[in-house]
Chains A and B, each alone.
Chain A
Amino acid sequence: MPSAVDAVQLRGIGKRFPGVVANHDVDVTIRPGTVHALIGENGAGKSTLMKILYGVQRPDDGTIAIEGEQVVLKSPTEAIEVGVGMVFQHFMLADNLTVLENMVLGAEKLHGIGDGARTEIRRISDRFGFDLDPDVLVERLGVAARQRLEIAKVLYRGARIIILDEPTAVLVPQEVDALFENLRELTSAGNSVLFISHKLDEVLAIADDITVMRRGTTVGTADPATATKQELAELMVGSELPSPETEESTVTDTVQLSLSDVTLTDEFGRNLLSDLSLTIRRGEVLGIAGVEGNGQAELVETIMGMRIPTAGRIMLGDEDVTHWHTRRLREAGIGYIPEDRHRHGLLLDAPLWENRILGHQTRPPSSKGMFINRRGARKDTERIVADYDVRAPGIDTPSRALSGGNQQKLIVGREMSGDPVLLIASHPTRGVDVGAQAAIWDHIKRARRAGLAVLLISADLDELIGLSDTIQVILRGRFVGTFDPAKVTPQDLGTAMTGGAA
């Protein structure tokens, strides 16, 4: 019986990048005609695994079998040939081309680029309820329609195994329901779906099987009929990290930052942030927990003046800073450790001392009047390198040459200089080694004792619990729960983050 053959069998998959093991000993089995969910925290290795299955990257170890046949996938083209199609989290569509053009691109031989293709697109669209008009420009489509187009694209090429990388991340709840309808149609027609997500309620709603990944490997499977969110969250989060120790409270009564009813709306009119209110006092660390993409980045960018809120008010000390731009905010004493140090924190090819000046270009010791004070900046960089234990050959070294941990220590040192009153730390220890992690934790704690207000955003729940005085959980741009870190467990947080009862 052919349907007894597994659609996909991944055995012992491993993939190493320089300095990182992205995947090791990964085993996944997908039964035909099912939705198989792959869940795990960010950085657990899900995306790498998907790229391996779609031929974008080649595994260093392990085997892939598609419908019982061992295959070696060297490129997406070969993956498509054996019936594997992928819908990327970031859509792979050309806005200025029509639905039809996007659909037939690379597969022109199947049905041509004219009416044959148009008929086939209509057929797929009608069969699965995709509601696609072949001759509309993609830029006119909403997010949900683009996603249906991506799925249709995969089907057009004859794929029977469809990988969806976090398909619901960009959808509103009604759109998610519609997508699930589409997926059920797909599986009832005999296709298999690999559904990657970290939203547990959605996974439980749609999946037939669940595989959990953590730190690059598969740590277990679960049956959605019996598993609870609690169990899944525990599997996903684990708790093996050395945890930062909580200290005595240093919270004062002086409010340093307060947001009242801040709302941010995107160009489609959807709320990225909805009525967020928070206060951080001097000497207080407020932790924000949440699954990535639930508004954390937007919250930080709004406070930093990179986005202007649609409604609401932001106060820094006694001043209304809602409409201040970033430089003015920084001059007022906000330090910022960005989420992605390569994109926002550093000029990788500039020497350390020039990186020291970034964001401080208007203030001593980096500047003197309208000129850059080279000597002052260099001297202060020496200080940061010594005080923050940045291991570098010298301050003229380009920052690219430093390890992630040392780059991060340089950023922390820079942001702590000039006596900030508020520190925004976005994933301050992401991708740094354990030693640097401990050092960064120490710096944050010391600054807190000195009266600094800190907004801490992290995906590492132990870090949040260990450092914060209060933890707020953010979900879909709203705060959905406040926790006392002294009493909360990572599991509680995991449940709240994924939409369970707080």
Chain B
Amino acid sequence: MSATTATTGRKRTIVERLTTSWLYIGLIGIGVVSFVRIITDTDDLTGAGTIRAAIIATCPILAAALGGLWAERAGVVNIGLEGQMILGTWGAAFFTYHYGPWVGILGAALLGLIGGLLHAVATVTFGVDHIVSGVAINLIGAGAATYLAEAIFPDYEGGGPRQLNGLEAPAQITIPGVSDLANSIADRHWFVVSDIASVVQALTTNISTLSLLIFALVIVSALVLWRTSFGLRLRSCGENPQAAETLGINVYLYKYVAVLVSGALAGIGGGFLALVASSGFSNGQTGGRGYIGLAAMIFGNWRPGGLLAGALTFGYTDSLRLRDTQSVHSLLLLVAIGLLAFAAWRAYKRQVTGALVVAGAGVLVMAWFLLTDSVPREFTVMTPYVTTMFVLALGSQRLRMPAADGKPYRRGSAG
């Protein structure tokens, strides 16, 4: 057991390094947001209501992103996350109606897993192009959920051909003392302090246990994928399956497991939409969150911490869109500051062209912010997608995907 004691020494330094850098990034982020809030006088930007909405918007994206992480780390591009999520919404509705919310979540995972199984059979066993198979699963998922809802839900209480309402939600948790204290600090609208208090308040007041579960799954995934030999083998299949094969690893098996887990996680994300984000199933309620999840994972550079940051960013912009146009207008300032900071960083790294392009974009957004009072409704709907595009366009040069991601692999091709 000398191994474990000695490793902890090294592990702690990594954890320390990560937490401190994340702490700094988080603090700077909150500082900028707080600054924008005060400048533009939109307290809603970090109101507890907004944060709560942001957490709810984040969770399905996060679950889908985790699903993407599992599949892509094993070398399978799972663009079928959207379809698996849709299957999850139906599964959650059906099983919750009969057996309550927790069985409902298992049902959501099961339906998502079936979608994952389809994808695995197509891509791993038959070598179908991952994108083709994924698109097919999105179509099948949407079609199957529509059909099943129409066939089954009209007979249920609160159900119709396109929805099933009044489902029981998983329990919510409030931590009494902390919640009230945070609330009172948040109401003072102090710089940074109140913003942090808002976050604490949102996390301690009526937070869904399913949200907590999904956040916990990020940590579980990180540990399983990076701290176990199972995870090492799984990742090796995404990096160099031929090498894995020469070392006696059953690449097909690991790819199957990864894609099944991926589907189940996407299904849980769908279940969250049906049970927590709204109080029932309705047709088409995923609204492209599977794709946003995939984008969050790419934004996060195929790492758990990164995809968490991505999902939070997208969830936050998504929640602002739901609240009022004034906040979205303030967001322009936030984006402009972000772009200019990024341009400065580029210039510091002596990437002149990149710096100029980004600075130009930043100036444009800043001008847009200064010259207008509000952002048209149509634009606010686009916000999360535009943000995604921006982030991907600016960040893509640093991204490092698994080396064999999306590449077909046939057994016996080594050597």
Contact = CB atoms under 8 A, between A and B. Distances in A.
Dominant secondary structure at the B interface:
helix
Contacts of B4: 114-115
Contacts of B229: 104, 108-109, 112-113
Interface in B60-75: none
A79 to B, nearest CB: 9
B3 A97 contact: no
Given A56-B415, A88-B415, A106 B247 contact: yes
A113 B239 CA distance: 18
Contacts of B245: 76
Interface string A56-94: 100000000000000000011100100000101000111
A104 B414 contact: no
B247 A94 contact: no
Contact of A76 (B6, B236, B248): B248
Contacts of B248: 75-77, 80, 106
A95 B7 contact: no
Nearest to B247: A106
B246 A88 contact: yes
A102 B232 CA distance: 9
B2 interface: yes
Nearest to B11: A114
Contacts of A77: 248
B414 A114 contact: no
A51 B412 CA distance: 11
A107 interface: yes
A108 B232 contact: yes
Contacts, number: 85
Contacts of A51: 415
B240 interface: yes
A97 B10 CA distance: 17
Contacts of B239: 94-97
B236 A94 contact: yes
Contact of A106 (B10, B233, B400, B412): B233
Nearest to B4: A114
A380 interface: no
Nearest to B401: A96
A112 B6 CA distance: 13
A325 B415 CA distance: 33
B2 A104 contact: no
B233 to A, nearest CB: 7
A96 B415 CA distance: 20
A105 B6 contact: no
A101 interface: yes
B415 A105 contact: no
B249 interface: yes
Contact of A114 (B7, B235, B242, B246): B7
Which of A86, A93, A96 has the most chain B CB atoms inside 10 A of its CB?
A96
Contact of B236 (A97, A109, A114, A116): A97
Contact of B246 (A86, A95, A113): A86
A51 to B, nearest CB: 5
A92 B232 contact: no
A432 to B, nearest CB: 25
Interface string B1-39: 011101100100000000000000000000000000000
Interface string B228-255: 1100110110011011111111000000
Nearest to B7: A114
B112 interface: no
Contacts of B233: 105-106, 108
B392 interface: no
Contacts of B403: 94-96
Nearest to A75: B248
A325 B334 CA distance: 45
Contacts of B235: 94, 97, 101
Contacts of B400: 96
B249 A106 contact: yes
B414 A56 contact: yes
Contacts of B7: 114-115
A104 B228 CA distance: 11
Nearest to B248: A77
Given A106-B248, A114-B7, A93 B232 contact: no
A114 B240 CA distance: 21
Given A80-B248, A105-B232, A105-B233, A93 B240 contact: yes
Which of A47, A56, A97, A105 has the most chain B CB atoms inside 10 A of its CB?
A105
Given A92-B240, A95-B239, A114 B249 contact: no
B402 interface: yes
Interface in A308-345: none
Nearest to B414: A56
Contacts of A86: 246
Contacts of A105: 232-233, 236, 243-244, 247, 249
Nearest to B6: A115
Given A97-B235, A112-B3, A114-B7, A107 B247 contact: yes
A114 B232 CA distance: 12
Contact of B247 (A76, A96, A109, A114): A76
Interface string B174-210: 0000000000000000000000000000000000000
A47 B402 CA distance: 29
A93 to B, nearest CB: 6
Contacts of A94: 235-236, 239-240, 243-244, 403
A116 B249 contact: no
Given A88-B415, A114-B3, 12 more contacts: A47-B415, A92-B243, A94-B239, A101-B236, A104-B229, A105-B249, A106-B249, A113-B229, A114-B4, A115-B3, A115-B4, A153-B247
22 contacts: A54-B415, A75-B248, A76-B247, A76-B248, A77-B248, A88-B246, A92-B247, A94-B236, A94-B244, A95-B239, A95-B240, A96-B239, A96-B403, A97-B235, A101-B235, A101-B236, A106-B233, A106-B248, A108-B232, A112-B229, A113-B228, A115-B3
